[in-house]
Amino acid sequence: MRSLTKNILVLIFAGLLQQCSYSQSGTNHNKPDNMDSTKKNSVYSQTDTSKVELSEAEWKKILPEDVYNIARQKGTERPWTSKYESLTDKGTYYCAACGNPLFKSDTKFESGCGWPSFYEPISKSSIIYTPDHSHGMTRTEVQCGRCKAHLGHVFDDGPPPTGLRYCINGVVLDFEKAKEAEKKYNQKQ
Ligand SMILES: [Zn+2]
């Protein structure tokens, strides 16, 4: 009877040890994911749709200077300076500040205005629209729907089917090539 109690105690103890090691391996498992996301910044995610609200000081700390100047200070890059202006690769354009998917390459067009131009955002929640009366003009500012980064402006002189022209600063865009398209291209080579 005594040895039975002892055995049960040993079993419970072994069970506790096992639980402990499980939770430890759980923490280890999370590590690689965290490391991937630090590639950009702590809020950057192409899948998380929750809103990002940081103070200007925090943004300044985590964004590269050129991205900060446009995204948070509403700056404008010089025309014809973005590598995305003439890019025709298939893929998706994300917000460079937070990773929110903004535009698909299928909706990009040659506008001749000097900035990457699109006629339609990926979804309604991709973009926030705000009237902008600065510089003596009446324009509509477009901001990232997730982090409110200033992206550019939208005009009503775009091509069909929307008739809109989203004129976007390339600095605040982050392009990722479509994986399928890339695969096909590589197979042809
Ligand atoms: Zn954003």
**How many angstroms does the Cα of residue 98 sit away from the middle of ligand 1?**
4
The rounded distance, in Å, linking the Cα atoms of 149 and 114 is 20
**How many angstroms does the Cα of residue 144 sit away from the middle of ligand 1?**
5
pLDDT tens, position by position, 20-42? 333 333 333 333 343 343 458 99
Q: Where are the domains of the chain?
A: 1-39, 56-182
**How many angstroms does the Cα of residue 45 sit away from the middle of ligand 1?**
9
Q: Tell me which residues are annotated as active site.
A: 167
pLDDT tens, position by position, 57-85? 999 999 999 999 999 999 999 999 999 99
**How many angstroms does the Cα of residue 33 sit away from the middle of ligand 1?**
21
pLDDT tens, position by position, 109-152? 999 999 999 999 999 889 999 999 999 999 999 999 999 999 99
Q: How confident is the model at residue 4 (pLDDT cuts 50, 70, 90)?
A: low
Sheet strand arrangement including 117-118: 108-109, 117-118, 165-168, 150-155, 139-144, 127-132
For residue 22, the model assigns a pLDDT of 36
For residue 52, the model assigns a pLDDT of 97
The CATH-assigned architecture of domain 56-182 is Beta Complex (2.170)
For residue 179, the model assigns a pLDDT of 80
**How many angstroms does the Cα of residue 5 sit away from the middle of ligand 1?**
61
**DSSP secondary structure letter of residue 130:** E
Taking 90 as the threshold, does the pLDDT of residue 14 lie above it? Answer: no
For residue 40, the model assigns a pLDDT of 80
Q: Give the CA distances from residue 176 to residues 32, 90, 113, 114, 118, in Å, rounded to whole numbers and listed in that order.
A: 21, 9, 23, 21, 16
- Taking residues 177-181, what's their average pLDDT? 77
